């Protein structure tokens, strides 16, 4: 009989890591069932709860609710999910909890959840990642600018200890802890945070090895294994190695309880095909234009501004040595002039949607859906339209995103540091034939780091495009306002990666169980 593990998901965000575990199937069996997921941010918690409801509804009825399909398509306001299926909604509210870890209330709820899991399942798995702002390079740079900021007093440095406390109380068969690479070099009072974390993990249980054997995820020749780490960098996982269309490198620590541990490399899985690109993930989505944040925001006005910018850039690069750029700018101007103006949003499904054979695309698409959701552009300033257009054309022609000193003077922003090197990468196009750069919560700010590769659309990525690069399925709706949606997407673990990690852990746990039965 197949084992089923109850899952505790901490710092869950919108649920990317949990989605990967909950979606795994092994010969029709769901080996991981989420018992409780905890997130303190209200909009992310709303997203988490809706997803828990849909998961429970599907388990009961084998399909999505009709009301969700209509809500997803924008035909109706968000319905009362409790009225759609009272029991499924009650289960979702019980599973997804809006709590702040470290508080007395959260501790009490977790104790009760652990008690229920022990009654329902033979064993459990703990997953999650403490908030990464204090560990990330960007987060630390911003913190230094705060008057009176003291790293040792930043509670975010110590949130991993809340994870350790739950780990000690739950004693699961395995755990997964995810965080940014910056945590490997982050220090508090001259001590590496990573070393403090390792000490806390090794303090669990007794004996030289402690209660858990730590494993790093290693990819070689298209296979992922759990290996014995020799240095901190071994814990870094490259999402693109798992078929994620994004260069996202994160620290992922896996612990296997000593009684379930197998020799390093004993369990392995085939991983998703690498080499997936931005164009592969989002190229089939409908083309849309950006909005205009100032002045008349009409399709005609937008088109005129793009034609004007493309024409001027064509003249700027009229010299023979820049003929490749010149010809592309002229092509953009001609296309914008001759074709019907784009709209700011489109929900149209592309041809043969839901029929993909590729593993990633079939994961993203859902043939129950009747529309693409959350594919609406932001508004940009007129001056930024020219910069976005230039970056996209340059990226297409030259094969890389231009630095500040490669922008023409006519597009230079009025900023004294523009040529200093500090802002050399201020505008970054996502190259069509490459994996995306890391999608982060910064995408919620202005979109300058996430310019669409198609110059004729002249815009930053939409929430849906960012979600696809993060491998969230198209039926995954992010609640809250658009800024909150971007933040949720940027902070999440790619579910497609999470599912493969779940498969690897389940393989290791199943292997250890088989070995115990055989007396090895």
Q: How much is the pLDDT for 183?
A: 85
> Please, what sign has the CA dihedral across residues 223, 224, 227, 233?
positive
Q: How much is the pLDDT for 157?
A: 53
Q: Which residue's structure tokens are 């034939």?
A: 433
Alpha-carbon distance of 254 to 167, in angstroms, equals 12
Alpha-carbon distance of 440 to 450, in angstroms, equals 10
Per-residue model confidence as pLDDT tens digits over 394-424:
999 999 999 988 999 899 887 766 766 666 7
| Range of lowest pLDDT (192-201, 237-246, 293-302) | 192-201
pLDDT average, residue stretch 220-227: 94
> Which of 154, 370, 363, 173 shows the shortest CA–CA distance to 256?
173
Alpha-carbon distance of 506 to 7, in angstroms, equals 12
| CB-neighbour burial class of residue 425 (10 A; exposed 0-12, middle 13-18, buried 19+) | middle
Query: Is pLDDT larger for residue 196 or for residue 503?
Result: 503
Task: Indicate if the pLDDT at residue 150 is higher than 70.
Answer: no
Alpha-carbon distance of 5 to 22, in angstroms, equals 10
Q: How much is the pLDDT for 143?
A: 47
**Residue 146 pLDDT level (bands cut at 50, 70, 90):** low
- Which pTM was predicted? 0.93
**Residue 208 pLDDT level (bands cut at 50, 70, 90):** very low
Alpha-carbon distance of 141 to 270, in angstroms, equals 38
Token pair listed for 225? 């294994």
Alpha-carbon distance of 59 to 89, in angstroms, equals 13
Q: How much is the pLDDT for 142?
A: 52
Q: How much is the pLDDT for 517?
A: 52
> Which of 181, 267, 158 shows the shortest CA–CA distance to 232?
181
**Residue 202 pLDDT level (bands cut at 50, 70, 90):** confident
Contact 505, 260 (CB under 8 A): no
> Which of 123, 88, 109 shows the shortest CA–CA distance to 40?
109
Query: Is pLDDT larger for residue 317 or for residue 515?
Result: 317
Q: How much is the pLDDT for 341?
A: 84
* Average predicted confidence (pLDDT) for the chain: 90
Alpha-carbon distance of 27 to 33, in angstroms, equals 16
Q: Which residue's structure tokens are 């350790």?
A: 164
Q: Which domains does the chain have, with CATH numbers?
A: 5-47+113-276+493-517 (3.40.50.150), 278-477 (no CATH)
| CB-neighbour burial class of residue 421 (10 A; exposed 0-12, middle 13-18, buried 19+) | exposed
Q: How much is the pLDDT for 516?
A: 47
- What's the DSSP call for residue 165? H
Query: Is pLDDT larger for residue 64 or for residue 274?
Result: 64
Q: How much is the pLDDT for 149?
A: 41
Q: Are strands 223-227 and 212-220 parallel, antiparallel or unpaired?
A: antiparallel
> Which of 440, 446, 333, 439 shows the shortest CA–CA distance to 390?
333
> Which of 183, 165, 304 shows the shortest CA–CA distance to 250?
183
Token pair listed for 297? 């925001």
Token pair listed for 129? 């990642």
Instruction: Say what percent of the chain tops pLDDT 90.
Output: 75
Q: How much is the pLDDT for 132?
A: 54
Query: Is pLDDT larger for residue 42 or for residue 147?
Result: 42
Q: Please list the residues that pair with 237 across neighbouring strands.
A: 250
Task: Indicate if the pLDDT at residue 135 is higher than 60.
Answer: no
**Residue 176 pLDDT level (bands cut at 50, 70, 90):** very high
Task: Indicate if the pLDDT at residue 206 is higher than 60.
Answer: no
| Range of lowest pLDDT (1-5, 361-365, 386-390) | 1-5
């Amino acid at each position: 009989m197949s084992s089923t593990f109850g899952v505790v998901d901490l710092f869950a965000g919108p649920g990317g890591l949990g989605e990967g575990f909950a979606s795994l199937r092994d010969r029709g069996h769901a080996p991981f069932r989420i018992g409780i997921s905890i997130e303190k941010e209200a909009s992310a918690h709303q997203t988490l709860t809706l997803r828990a409801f849909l998961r429970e509804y599907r388990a009961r009825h084998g399909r999505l609710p009709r009301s969700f399909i209509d809500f997803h398509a924008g035909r109706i306001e968000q319905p009362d999910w409790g009225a759609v299926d009272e029991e499924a909604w009650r289960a979702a509210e019980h599973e997804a909890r809006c709590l702040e870890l470290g508080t007395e209330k959260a501790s009490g709820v977790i104790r009760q959840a652990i008690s229920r899991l022990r009654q329902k399942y033979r064993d459990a798995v703990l997953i999650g990642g403490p908030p990464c702002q204090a560990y990330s390079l960007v987060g630390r740079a911003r913190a230094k600018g705060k008057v009176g900021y003291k790293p040792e007093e930043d509670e975010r440095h110590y949130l991993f200890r809340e994870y350790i406390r739950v780990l000690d109380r739950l004693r699961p068969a395995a755990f997964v802890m995810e965080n940014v690479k910056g945590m490997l070099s982050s220090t508090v009072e001259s001590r590496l945070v990573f070393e403090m974390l390792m000490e806390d993990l090794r303090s669990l249980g007794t004996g030289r090895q402690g209660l858990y054997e730590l494993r790093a995820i290693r990819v070689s020749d298209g296979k992922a294994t759990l290996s014995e780490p020799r240095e901190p960098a071994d814990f870094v996982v490259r999402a693109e190695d798992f078929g994620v269309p994004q260069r996202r490198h994160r620290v992922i620590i896996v612990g296997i309880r000593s009684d379930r541990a197998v020799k390093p490399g004993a369990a392995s899985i085939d991983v998703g095909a690498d080499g997936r690109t931005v164009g592969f993930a989002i190229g089939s989505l409908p083309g849309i234009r950006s909005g205009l944040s100032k002045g008349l925001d009409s399709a005609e006005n937008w088109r005129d501004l793009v034609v004007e910018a493309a024409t001027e850039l064509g003249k700027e690069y009229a010299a023979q040595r820049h003929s490749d750029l010149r010809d592309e700018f002229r092509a953009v101007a001609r296309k914008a002039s001759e074709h019907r103006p784009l709209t700011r949003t489109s929900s149209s499904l592309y041809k043969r949607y839901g029929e993909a054979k590729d593993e990633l695309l079939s994961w993203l698409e859902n043939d129950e859906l009747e529309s693409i959701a959350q594919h609406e552009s932001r508004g940009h300033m007129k001056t930024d339209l020219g910069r976005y257009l230039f970056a996209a054309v340059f990226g297409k022609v030259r094969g890389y995103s231009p630095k500040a000193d490669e922008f023409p003077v006519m597009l230079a922003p009025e900023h004294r540091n523009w040529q200093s090197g500090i802002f050399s990468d201020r505008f970054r196009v996502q190259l069509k034939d490459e994996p995306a750069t890391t999608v982060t919560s910064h995408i919620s700010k202005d979109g300058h780091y996430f310019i669409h590769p198609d110059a004729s659309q002249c815009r930053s990525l939409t929430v849906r495009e960012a979600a696809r690069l993060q491998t969230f399925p198209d039926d995954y709706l992010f609640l809250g306002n658009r800024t909150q949606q971007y933040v949720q997407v940027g902070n999440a673990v790619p579910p497609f990666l999470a599912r493969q990690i779940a498969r690897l852990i389940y393989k290791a746990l199943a292997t250890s169980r088989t070995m115990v039965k055989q007396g090895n």
